[in-house]
Structure 1
Amino acid sequence: MDFRDEQPRQHEIGNRTYFVADVEPLDVDGVRTVEVGTALWLLGFLALLPFYGRLQDSGNLWWLWTCLAGFGLGLFGLEYCRRRRRTRAEAEVSEPGPA
């Protein structure tokens, strides 16, 4: 699948000229982004765990459970993104190339 076509390198809008950089997207499938987010939720949970008693006394115990829920949902999201990446890779392999 080739999405390359000639795009304008600059746009003139009003009295301003905008130049378009020729760069590739960094993370097309989102796996790394979800991995980092999931790891941060786990880190937040582990960082709050020693303060369980203090959080309970102040009525902020939900902070701990929010981090745990974020980690759990991140695991589901990670599996979803990995399956999507695998499906896209299989589709690219099975797709016939240009003749």
Structure 2
Amino acid sequence: MSDPDPGQQLPSIPARWSEPSTVIAGGIAVWVIATIVVLVGGDRWSSALPTCWTGIAVGCLGFALFAAQRRSARRGDKGAQRGLV
């Protein structure tokens, strides 16, 4: 396997897949689906239920933090992260 030509243009990722809010929401959706599967599975996967709930909670917390940072960046706050606008 050879290295790609440095002058060759690589295809870009579609904007909807590089948007952080889409990726975070997709991750939360996957955890919700996993939780439903575990709940339907009964006792077989009952030990995984706390992990699923934690995944949803951490995803929601991450989404809230991202939204707060984006709002701060759009307002132009001094301590806000750059590049989130």
Higher relative contact order (CA 8 A, sep 6+): 1
Runs of 4+ in structure 1 over 4 Å off: none
Name stretches of at least 5 consecutive residues in structure 1 with no aligned partner: 1-15, 93-99
| Structure with more of its chain in strand, by fraction | 1
Superposition pairs for residues 53-64 of structure 1, below 5 Å? 53-56=43-46, 61=47, 63-64=48-49
Residue 79 of structure 1 corresponds to which residue in structure 2? 64
C-alpha separation between the residues in 1 aligned to 2:40 and 2:29?
18
Aligned-residue sequence identity (percent) comes to 20
User: Aligned to 2:31, which of 22, 31, 41?
Assistant: 41
Q: 1:72 to 1:17 in 2, by over 3 A?
A: closer
Q: How high is the TM-score relative to the length of structure 2?
A: 0.65
Q: Secondary structure at the match of 1:19?
A: coil
| Pairing of 1:1-99 with structure 2 (within 5 A) | 16-20=5-9, 26=15, 27=18, 30-56=20-46, 61=47, 63-91=48-76
Deviation string 1:24-43 (CA, Å, 9 cap, x unpaired) is 98335x22211110111011
Which structure is larger by alpha-carbon Rg, 1 or 2? Answer: 1
Task: State the superposition RMSD in angstroms.
Answer: 2.7
Q: Distance in 2 between matches of 1:89 and 1:49?
A: 40
Structure 2: 5+ residue runs without aligned partners?
78-85
Between Structure 1 and Structure 2, how many residues are aligned? 71
Q: TM-score scaled to structure 1, two decimals?
A: 0.57
Distance (whole Å) between structure 2 residues aligned to residue 87 and residue 24 of structure 1: 26
